């Protein structure tokens, strides 16, 4: 038996969907453990695209057990739409999905508040650039011990009491931020919709923590699918420009309710370059034509919001920090093919701040924002052979690039992705082995 956690090693959007999909061939259970519909996984199966926000990327393998852990914040309408979308493709029709009854629920007022805060922040240049999916407000309610959980969707009186109590507190804030507090009829509709969603979700709900623990005790191969990336972690990321959950490997244990001693391996996913969505420091960001070229080549537009992603060179100090925070035992390098056709490819090997060279980002985001990247450059290479199945199949400069990253990151690669399809992959090591 092996228990493997997959985490994003950067600021999210590292191509986790494809890697989780590949690893799911070996896993019997896949668990999403944090965040909510702020994530977006684009899966390409036999040339067909499937985008999921809540359902784990492992869904594409019929018969594998998919779990949404208690640490998540779940938008019930989005989840129901995704279940329907999967079932229309013949997936999730055999009772493969289990939604934790302890997970928190995102309701319309969480999304309203998220959007109003962002709009107010934008006016003074302080927006976080959230996905506006209500993630922060739902986690705030959870921390304040006033949140609505999935189990509350099945208890009409309790749900009503919670929603009314929350809105009693939040309506003045909504008005203060320039919004229209919901009228009683609208609140009633929200409650009715939530109860209807609860009835529809009931067959999928259960005790996620025990379900996962039993699978591990039974000796199953279990895969935890992280969302976002290590540098967006609430505690250790580039605060305040972070999400509101734990995105590092430890978050998997916390969310699923299992101990760290159950974990056998942690795989970090890093793109061959870097992207970031929303505000916050990004030392290797490329502006103008160079950034546009990378964005176009990599199709770097948010799967959830459609926003253009900020693009830049691979940042090894940030990658080392992600590797340290999550205790990564191996790395998967994705989207190497996107760099094909560039005249030159660079990688940031260190930062300088006030004349001092640093191998990891400084602790203060203001210092990260003014850090100067120290680059090593490689001659570019032509399009990668799509049938590359070994590092030795790569053109010389691409091979040198891969080997340099592996050496300077200090974590071995288990996989290099050379194209979007499942088959376009160099497999070096099986994390479940």
378 within 8 A of 346, measured Cβ to Cβ: yes
Q: Does 133 bind ligand IMP (CB under 6 A)?
A: yes
269 within 8 A of 8, measured Cβ to Cβ: yes
Single out the catalytic residue among 21, 41, 53, 221: 41
Closest approach of Cβ 86 to ligand IMP, in Å? Answer: 19
DSSP letter at 15? Answer: S
Q: Is 386 exposed, middle or buried (0-12, 13-18, 19+ CB in 10 A)?
A: exposed
For ligand IMP, the closer of residues 130 and 205 by Cβ is 130
Q: Does 232 bind ligand IMP (CB under 6 A)?
A: yes
Q: Does 246 bind ligand IMP (CB under 6 A)?
A: no
Q: What are phi and psi of 39, to 5 degrees?
A: -80, 155
Closest approach of Cβ 279 to ligand IMP, in Å? Answer: 6
d(CA 175, CA 173): 5
Half-sphere exposure of 400 (CA within 13 A, CB side): 13
d(CA 223, CA 290): 37
Q: Does 101 bind ligand IMP (CB under 6 A)?
A: no
Rule CB under 6 A: choose which of 2, 228, 246, 329 binds ligand IMP: 228
Q: What is the C-alpha radius of gyration for the chain, rounded to an integer number of angstroms?
A: 21
Rule CB under 6 A: choose which of 2, 4, 5, 12 binds ligand IMP: 12
Convert residues 261-300 into a mask of x (bound to ligand IMP by CB under 6 A) and - (unbound): ----------------xx----------------------
Closest approach of Cβ 274 to ligand IMP, in Å? Answer: 12
Rule CB under 6 A: choose which of 27, 86, 97, 128 binds ligand IMP: 128
69 within 8 A of 103, measured Cβ to Cβ: yes
Rule CB under 6 A: choose which of 2, 38, 246, 334 binds ligand IMP: 38
Q: Is 13 a catalytic residue?
A: yes
Q: Does 136 bind ligand IMP (CB under 6 A)?
A: yes
Closest approach of Cβ 353 to ligand IMP, in Å? Answer: 23
Angle between helices 108-123 and 135-143 (to 10 degrees): 110
For ligand IMP, the closer of residues 204 and 241 by Cβ is 241
Q: How many chain residues are in contact with ligand IMP, going by CB under 6 A? A: 21
* Enclosing H/E stretch for 72: none
Q: Which stretch binds ligand IMP (CB under 6 A): 33-41, 43-51, 261-269, 398-406?
A: 33-41
Handedness of CA 247, 131, 295, 363 (dihedral sign): negative
Q: Does 234 bind ligand IMP (CB under 6 A)?
A: no
Q: Does 315 bind ligand IMP (CB under 6 A)?
A: no
Q: Is 53 a catalytic residue?
A: no
Instruction: Tell me if the bond preceding 240 is cis, omega within 30° of 0.
Output: yes
Query: Facing residues of 344 across strands?
Result: 379
Single out the catalytic residue among 13, 75, 114, 315: 13
Handedness of CA 320, 322, 325, 331 (dihedral sign): negative
For ligand IMP, the closer of residues 72 and 215 by Cβ is 72
Closest approach of Cβ 12 to ligand IMP, in Å? Answer: 3
Closest approach of Cβ 419 to ligand IMP, in Å? Answer: 21
256 within 8 A of 222, measured Cβ to Cβ: no
Coil, strand or helix at 349: strand
- Distance between first and last Cα of the chain: 9
d(CA 308, CA 56): 24
* E-assigned strand segments in 156-246: 205-206, 222-225
Rule CB under 6 A: choose which of 39, 91, 116, 267 binds ligand IMP: 39
Binding-site ranges for ligand IMP (CB under 6 A):
11-13, 38-40, 128-131, 133, 135-136, 227-228, 232, 241, 243-244, 277-278
Catalytic residues: 13, 41
């Amino acid at each position: 038996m092996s228990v493997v956690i997959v985490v994003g090693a950067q600021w999210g959007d590292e191509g986790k969907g494809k890697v989780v999909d590949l690893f799911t061939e070996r896993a019997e259970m896949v668990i999403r453990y944090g965040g909510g519909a702020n994530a977006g996984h684009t899966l390409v199966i036999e040339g067909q695209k499937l985008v999921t926000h809540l359902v784990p990327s492992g869904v594409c393998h019929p018969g594998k057990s998919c779990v949404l852990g208690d640490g998540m914040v779940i938008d019930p309408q989005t989840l129901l739409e995704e279940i329907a979308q999967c079932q229309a493709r013949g997936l999730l029709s055999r009772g493969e999905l289990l939604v934790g009854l302890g997970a928190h629920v995102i309701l319309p007022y969480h999304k309203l508040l998220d959007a109003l805060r962002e709009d107010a922040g934008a006016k003074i240049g302080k927006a976080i650039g959230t996905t506006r999916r209500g993630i922060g407000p739902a986690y705030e309610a959870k921390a304040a011990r006033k949140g609505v959980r999935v189990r509350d969707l099945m208890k009409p009186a309790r749900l009503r009491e919670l929603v009314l109590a929350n809105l009693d507190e939040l309506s003045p804030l909504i008005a203060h931020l320039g919004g229209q507090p919901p009228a009683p009829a609208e609140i009633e509709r929200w409650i009715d919709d939530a109860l209807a969603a609860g009835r529809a979700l009931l067959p999928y709900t259960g005790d996620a923590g025990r379900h996962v623990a039993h699978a591990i005790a039974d000796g199953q191969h279990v895969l935890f699918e992280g969302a976002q990336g290590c540098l967006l972690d609430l505690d250790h990321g580039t605060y305040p420009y972070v999400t509101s959950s734990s995105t590092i490997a430890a978050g998997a244990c916390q969310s699923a309710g299992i101990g760290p001693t159950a974990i056998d391996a942690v795989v970090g996913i890093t793109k061959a370059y870097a992207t970031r969505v929303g505000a916050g420091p990004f030392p290797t960001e490329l502006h103008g034509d160079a950034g546009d070229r990378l964005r176009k080549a990599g199709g770097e537009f948010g799967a959830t919001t459609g926003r253009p992603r900020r693009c830049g060179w691979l940042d090894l100090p940030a990658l080392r920090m992600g590797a340290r925070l999550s205790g990564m035992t191996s790395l998967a390098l994705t989207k190497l093919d996107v760099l094909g056709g560039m005249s030159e490819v660079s990688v940031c090997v260190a930062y300088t701040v006030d004349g001092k060279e640093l191998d990891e980002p400084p602790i203060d985001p203001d210092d990260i924002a003014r850090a100067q990247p120290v680059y090593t450059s490689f001659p570019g290479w032509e399009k990668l052979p799509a049938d590359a199945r070994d590092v030795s199949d790569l053109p010389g400069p691409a091979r040198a690039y891969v080997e340099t990253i592996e050496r300077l990151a200090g974590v071995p690669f288990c996989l290099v992705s050379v194209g979007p399809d499942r088959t376009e992959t160099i497999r070096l090591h099986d994390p479940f082995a």
